[in-house]
Amino acid sequence: MHNMDVVTPSDIERAIQRTFKDYRLPIVILEVDATYDYIGYYEPHIDKKLSGFGYSDRTDGYHVLKFDTAKQVSPTGIAFKKYQQDNFYDVALCREHLPVADRPPAEERFVPRPMLVENGWEPATILSTAPTGVPPRVARPEFDYDKVHADVKALIPMNEHFESRLAQWRDFIARRPNDDASYAAVELPQWMGHTRRPANGAQGTSAAEIARSTVLASTIAVRQPRTVVSAAYNGAEGNADRAARAADDAEAAGIVETEPLKAGTWAFVKVKYPEPSPNDTGSAGCRIPLILVQLAADFGDVDTTLAESKIKVSWWAPAPAHGRYDGDWRKWRNAQRQQHETEEERGSIAMTDVKFTREAELAGGVRRLNKKTKERLAETNMAGVSLYSQYSSGPPS
């Protein structure tokens, strides 16, 4: 409705109709002054376990709810479905969009992958018991229509050109209930036989035809896990899928600990390097995935358990410069020959409690990791982060 001349209620209706003039279904605009209190009516009867179908920090919402009175797809007569199509075609734009089992290693450059999601009905229950009678009306909202009338008169000039518009507002306001008696007499909205959405959804090319025409050799077949929780199902599949994704995301980001950091101790930070030039022949410099740092002597009031918290660190560089965990580590100095210091996010710290062969620096101001630290780097759960076998001279010793 941008840049449209909208001054009166009828202007609003015309603008809405014009906006949706090419929409396939009819546009029906009703003036609604009263409705039933469906929340109060149904709330005591809703299955208290019902969850997992909406949008939240844990789920991204289901799009279809079916009341299956014939119980053809659900023994409970109720079923949810993630997508409208039985086989939903999608594209994974990052590794987090893929199921954990199909994700490439975190250090690999990600290439978008087509996905064909097998998407079935999930039986559920919504009501544990059935309500009786009819719902009451919601309480009359406190709204000052006299103030609306005063605002209209203040905004619309009082002259012949605008008289018809002022009359529209007077008529519109006069139809509104402004006391309990007039509110009780208001008729509630009726459907009045308006055309309903076709039962088979939108017409045109079917989802199966679209999928068949666009499926590529690299398409990954994915099954949507059962996520909706109710008396009919406990949501175990969805919980397991979310836990696996969260664990993989954390490992890929190098977040293996969430305990508070200890000031002045040593850690490894996950480093992202720019992509090497296509013509690079090994001169791209150090590519070791984790770099040694010493944490600040004092964190102040920073909460070191939060992934986004900024932590001051002093950097150490591997020697030789191409990078090796079991070689020497020396202070990383900047152009002014001062040790390089930055603030890094807590989430980039991949390993803490790093130990050395000696408390003090070795000759030449270098440090060397002790065997236990090297073993931790080589552990399976760190393999995709540290790549220890690739950046060491041999097994931990």
> What's the structural domain count of the chain?
2
Judge whether residue 290 has pLDDT over 80: yes
E strands in 53-105: 64-67, 78-81, 87-92
Q: What is the pLDDT of residue 55?
A: 85
- Has residue 18 been placed in a domain? no
**β-strand partners of 329:** 318, 367
Core vs surface per residue 28-45: b (16+ CB within 10 A) or e: eeeeebbeeeeeeeeeee
Residue 381's domain spans which residues? 253-275+286-386
Same domain, 259 and 246: no
Same domain, 263 and 244: no
Judge whether residue 50 has pLDDT over 90: yes
Report which of 125, 130, 127 is spatially closest to residue 53, judged by C-alpha positions: 125
- Has residue 35 been placed in a domain? no
Judge whether residue 198 has pLDDT over 70: no
SS3 (DSSP) at 108: coil
Q: Which of 141-145, 255-259, 268-272 is least confident?
A: 255-259
| Whole-number Å distance between alpha carbons of 79 and 71 | 10
Instruction: Report the amino acid identity of residue 56.
Output: S
Q: What is the pLDDT of residue 199?
A: 53
Same domain, 265 and 367: yes
Q: What is the pLDDT of residue 191?
A: 65
Element (H, E) at 372: helix 371-378
Same domain, 116 and 211: yes
Is 267 within 8 Å of 351 (Cβ atoms)? yes
The more confidently predicted of residues 216 and 251 is: 251
The more confidently predicted of residues 274 and 337 is: 337
pLDDT tens column, 355-391? 999 999 999 899 999 999 988 888 744 545 677 778 8
Same domain, 305 and 381: yes
Same domain, 309 and 242: no
Q: What is the pLDDT of residue 256?
A: 45
The more confidently predicted of residues 194 and 31 is: 31
Q: What is the pLDDT of residue 257?
A: 47
Core vs surface per residue 252-269: b (16+ CB within 10 A) or e: bbbbbbeeebeeeebbbb
Same domain, 230 and 308: no
Dihedral, CA of residue 388, residue 390, residue 392 and residue 396, to nearest 10 = 50
E strands in 143-243: 220-223
Same domain, 270 and 378: yes
Same domain, 345 and 363: yes
Mean pLDDT of 309-333: 87
Same domain, 229 and 292: no
Same domain, 245 and 373: no
Q: What is the pLDDT of residue 392?
A: 82
The model's pTM: 0.51
pLDDT tens column, 147-163? 988 998 888 888 887 88
Q: What is the pLDDT of residue 204?
A: 52
C-alpha dist (Å) from residue 364 to 107, 295, 330: 33, 22, 9
The more confidently predicted of residues 194 and 43 is: 43
| Whole-number Å distance between alpha carbons of 296 and 264 | 5
- Has residue 20 been placed in a domain? no
- Has residue 10 been placed in a domain? no
Q: What is the pLDDT of residue 394?
A: 76
Q: What is the pLDDT of residue 3?
A: 67
Judge whether residue 7 has pLDDT over 60: yes
Confidence of residue 202 (pLDDT cuts 50, 70, 90): very low
H helices of 193-294, in order, are 207-214, 236-252
Return mean pLDDT, the chain.
Answer: 84
Give the pairing of strands 113-118 and 220-223: parallel
Judge whether residue 201 has pLDDT over 80: no
Mean pLDDT of 138-155: 87
